[in-house]
C-alpha cells in the first residue's frame, strides 16, 4: 500500500465532492432562473494497475451533466412576448455578433429597435412572412432573421384572398330582365351583397356582388366597383363588371359542383383578389351570408401582437385586422442532455448531442409554443439541500483519509529518529 497513493485518492475524493457542491451551489443560485436546467455531478472509478499483492488506490472521475430534457413547471404571465415550449424543442436565439444558440429561456421583451430580446441579451430568431409563407431549413440556421416589430411605422396591405360563404335560395327563378353581367340599365338579379376590400394604399374599395339564378341549379355571379354605380339606380356601372362567373349546384345535395368554385377580382388600384366561393350552397331557404372575409388592412400602426401555438406572430392593427409577420421555429437535437451549456442560459451543439434539426411547433416530436408563459427552472431545492449535506459528509470523510495518510507519513519519516 502506498501512503502517497492513499493521500492522492483522498484528494481525488475531496475534489469530486467539491465539484458536486459547486453544481449544487449553481442549482440553488439559479433556482429562479427562467428555463434553467439543473446540473448534477456523476462519478466513475479510476482504477490503478495492481502489482503482486499490493493494492494501489485509484480515485474518482467527475462528469457534470445537465438535465436539459427535463421540463420545468410553466408559470403563466400577462406578457404576450413571454414564451415557453411545452414539450421538446428550443428557441433559436443569436448574440449581438450574430452567432446562433439554443435556449428555453423565453422571457422576451422588445428593445429600442423592436427586437425581442431575453434577459441575457439574446435576440429571438424566426422566419419572416415578407416573401410568403415560410418553410423551415431542416439542417441549418439559414433563413432565420431577428424578430423585429415596430409600432411606429404605418403599413397598408392590399386584399389578395378572401372567402364568401352564403346560401342561395333553391326556389329562385330566373329574372325576366338582362343579367347584371350585361351592365344594362334594366338588369335584374336574385340576391346582392357587398364586401369591403383594400387597394395598394390601404383605401377601402366597396364591391357589389350580384347572384342571379339562370336556371335549375345554375347561377351567375357578377362583381362591380360600387363607386362606379349610377346614383340611385346602381346600373349601369361605369366600366362594367370587374369579374363574372357561372356556378353550378348539385340539385340533390345543394353543394357547389362543376369546375368553377372561385372568382378572381381585380380590385381597383389594388391587387387581384382570389375570392373562394367553394362553401356556397343552394338550399330551400332565403339568401343568407354566413361569412364574408377578406385579407388586407387600411393604413394603421400595430396596436398589439398575438402569438399562436404554431409560433406565428400576428400583428393586430387599430382597425382590428391581423397580419402574420413571423413564424417562430423550434430546434432539437438527438441528445439534449449532451448539449454544451454556455453563459446566458443558452446551449450549443456538441459532438455527443447530435446535429441541430429545425422545424415548427407541434410537428413530429416538437412541442407547442405557449404565449404568456415562462418555463421555471427544474431545480428542486429540497433535493439540492439533501445533496449538499451528503456532499459535505463525503468531503469530510475524504479529508479524514488524507489526514490519516499524512499522520502515517509522519510516523514513517520519524522511524529513523
Q: What is the pLDDT of residues 66-101, one digit of tens each?
A: 899 999 999 999 999 999 999 999 999 999 999 999
Identify whether residues 253 and 311 lie together within a single domain: no
151, β-bridge pairs: none
Same domain, 284 and 166: yes
Query: Is the CB of residue 241 less than 8 Å from the CB of residue 228?
Result: no
User: Nine-digit cell at 90?
Assistant: 428550443
List all residues 6 or more positions away from 53 whose beta carbon is below 8 Å from its beta carbon.
none
Asked if 182 contacts 310 with a C-beta cutoff of 8 angstroms, the reply is no
Closest Cα to residue 341, out of 59, 64, 113?
64
Q: Which domain holds residue 249?
A: 157-299
pLDDT at 416 (0 to 100) = 66
Banded model confidence at residue 8, pLDDT cuts 50, 70, 90:
confident
Find the helix or strand (DSSP H, E) in which 157 lies: strand 155-157
| Together in a domain, 249 and 122 | no
Name the residue with higher pLDDT: 305 or 223: 223
178, 270: one domain: yes
Query: In angstroms, rounded to a whole number, what is the distance separating the alpha carbons of residues 115 and 145?
Result: 10
Say if residue 101 is in the same domain as residue 223. Answer: no
The pLDDT score that the predictor gives to residue 4 is 72
The chain-wide mean pLDDT, for the chain, equals 90
Boundary-marking domain end, from 299, 322, 352: 299
In what helix (H) or strand (E) does residue 368 lie, and over which residues does it extend?
strand 368-371
Whether residues 200 and 322 fall in one domain: no
3-state SS assignment for residue 17? helix
Dist CA 314 CA 81 (whole Å) = 12
Per-residue model confidence as pLDDT tens digits over 372-417: 999 999 999 999 999 999 999 999 998 898 888 888 887 877 876 6
Residue 20 has pLDDT above 90, yes or no: yes
**pLDDT attached to residue 303:** 81
**Band of the pLDDT at 168, cuts 50, 70, 90?**
very high
Instruction: Report, as an integer, the average pLDDT of 151-162.
Output: 82
- Report the C-alpha gap between 199 and 270 in whole angstroms: 4
User: Is residue 236 reached through a cis peptide bond, with omega within 30 degrees of 0 on the bond before it?
Assistant: yes
Look at residue 412 in the predicted model and tell me its pLDDT.
78
Same domain, 162 and 272: yes
Quote the cell numbers at residue 141.
440556421
Task: Mark which of 299, 330, 365 sits at the end of a domain.
Answer: 299
Provide the pLDDT confidence category of residue 317 given band limits of 50, 70 and 90: confident
Supply the pLDDT for residue 219: 96
- What is the model's pLDDT at position 24? 94
The answer to whether the CB of 367 falls within 8 A of the CB of 69 is: no
Q: Please tell me the predicted confidence (pLDDT) of residue 51.
A: 66
Q: Same domain, yes or no, for 257 and 339? A: no
Q: What is the pLDDT of residues 246-277, one digit of tens each?
A: 999 999 999 999 788 999 999 999 999 999 99
Confidence of residue 174 (pLDDT cuts 50, 70, 90): very high
Distance CA 295, CA 271 (A): 12
- Percent of the chain past pLDDT 90, that is, above it, reads 70
Count the neighbouring beta carbons within 10 Å of the beta carbon of residue 413: 9
Q: What is the CATH number of the domain that holds 279?
A: 2.60.98.20
Question: Tell me, what's the pLDDT at 1?
Answer: 53
Dist CA 104 CA 68 (whole Å): 9
User: Is the pLDDT reported for residue 140 higher than 90?
Assistant: no
If one counts the domains in the chain, the total is 3
Same domain, 286 and 313: no
C-alpha cell at 356: 441541430
- Bigger pLDDT: 410 or 117? 117
- Residues 186-236 have pLDDT tens digits of 999 999 999 999 999 989 999 999 999 999 999 999 999 999 999 988 999
Alpha-carbon distance 208 to 235, whole Å?
11
Q: What is the pLDDT of residue 153?
A: 66
Residue 188 contacts residue 175 (beta carbons within 8 Å): yes
- Please tell me the predicted confidence (pLDDT) of residue 409: 81
Q: Is residue 334 domain-shared with residue 395, that is, in the same domain?
A: no
**End position of a domain, from candidates 279, 299, 319:** 299
Contact 34, 105 (CB under 8 A): yes
Alpha-carbon span 50 to 403, nearest angstrom: 24
Q: What is the pLDDT of residues 345-368, one digit of tens each?
A: 999 999 999 999 999 999 989 999
| Same domain membership, residue 283 and residue 234 | yes
Judgement on whether residues 366 and 408 belong to the same structural domain of the protein? no
Closest Cα to residue 331, out of 91, 51, 15, 171?
91
Question: What burial letters (b/e) apply to 346-367, b meaning 16+ CB within 10 Å?
Answer: bbebeeebeebbbbbbbeeebb
Strand ranges for 177-317 from DSSP E: 191-198, 204-215, 218-225, 243-249, 256-257, 262-266, 272-276, 281-283, 288-294, 297-300, 302-307, 312-317
Helices (H) and strands (E) in the chain, counts: 2, 31
Amino acid at each position: 500500500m502506498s501512503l502517497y497513493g492513499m493521500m492522492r485518492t483522498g484528494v481525488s475524493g475531496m475534489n469530486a465532492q467539491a465539484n458536486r457542491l459547486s453544481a449544487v451551489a449553481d442549482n440553488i443560485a439559479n433556482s429562479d432562473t427562467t428555463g434553467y436546467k439543473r446540473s448534477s455531478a456523476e462519478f466513475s472509478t479510476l482504477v490503478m494497475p495492481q502489482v503482486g499483492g499490493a493494492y494501489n488506490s485509484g480515485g474518482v472521475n467527475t462528469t457534470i451533466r445537465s438535465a436539459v430534457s427535463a421540463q420545468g413547471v410553466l408559470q403563466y404571465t400577462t406578457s404576450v412576448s413571454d414564451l415557453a415550449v411545452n414539450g421538446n424543442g428550443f428557441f433559436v436565439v443569436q448574440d449581438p455578433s450574430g452567432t446562433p444558440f439554443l435556449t428555453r429561456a423565453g422571457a422576451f421583451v422588445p428593445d429600442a429597435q423592436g427586437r425581442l430580446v431575453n434577459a441575457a441579451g439574446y435576440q429571438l430568431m424566426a422566419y419572416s412572412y415578407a416573401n410568403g409563407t415560410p418553410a423551415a431549413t431542416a439542417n441549418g440556421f439559414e433563413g432565420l432573421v431577428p424578430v423585429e416589430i415596430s409600432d411606429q411605422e404605418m403599413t397598408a396591405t392590399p386584399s389578395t384572398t378572401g372567402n364568401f360563404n352564403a346560401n342561395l335560395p333553391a326556389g329562385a327563378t330566373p329574372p325576366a330582365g338582362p343579367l347584371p353581367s350585361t351592365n344594362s340599365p334594366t338588369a335584374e338579379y336574385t340576391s346582392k351583397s357587398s364586401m369591403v376590400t383594400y387597394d395598394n394604399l390601404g383605401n377601402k374599395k366597396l364591391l357589389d356582388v350580384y347572384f342571379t339564378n339562370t336556371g335549375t341549379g345554375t347561377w351567375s355571379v357578377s362583381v362591380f366597383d360600387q363607386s362606379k354605380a349610377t346614383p340611385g339606380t346602381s346600373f349601369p356601372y361605369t366600366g362594367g363588371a370587374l369579374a363574372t362567373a357561372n356556378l353550378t349546384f348539385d340539385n340533390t345535395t345543394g353543394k357547389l359542383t362543376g369546375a368553377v368554385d372561385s372568382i378572381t377580382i381585380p380590385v381597383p388600384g389594388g391587387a387581384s383578389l382570389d375570392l373562394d366561393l367553394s362553401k356556397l350552397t343552394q338550399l330551400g331557404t332565403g339568401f343568407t351570408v354566413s361569412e364574408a372575409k377578406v385579407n388586407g388592412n387600411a393604413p394603421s400602426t400595430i396596436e398589439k401582437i398575438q402569438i399562436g401555438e404554431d409560433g406565428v406572430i400576428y400583428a393586430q392593427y387599430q382597425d382590428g385586422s391581423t397580419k402574420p409577420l413571423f413564424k417562430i421555429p423550434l430546434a432539437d437535437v438527438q441528445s439534449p442532455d449532451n448539449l454544451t451549456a454556455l453563459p446566458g442560459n443558452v446551449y450549443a451543439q456538441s459532438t455527443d448531442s447530435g446535429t441541430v434539426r429545425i422545424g415548427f411547433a407541434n410537428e413530429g416530436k416538437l412541442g407547442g409554443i405557449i404565449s404568456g408563459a415562462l418555463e421555471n427552472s427544474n431545480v428542486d431545492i429540497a433535493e439540492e439541500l439533501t445533496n449538499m449535506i451528503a456532499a459535505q459528509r463525503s468531503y469530510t470523510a475524504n479529508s479524514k483519509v488524507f489526514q490519516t495518510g499524512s499522520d502515517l507519513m509522519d510516523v514513517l519519516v520519524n522511524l529513523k529518529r
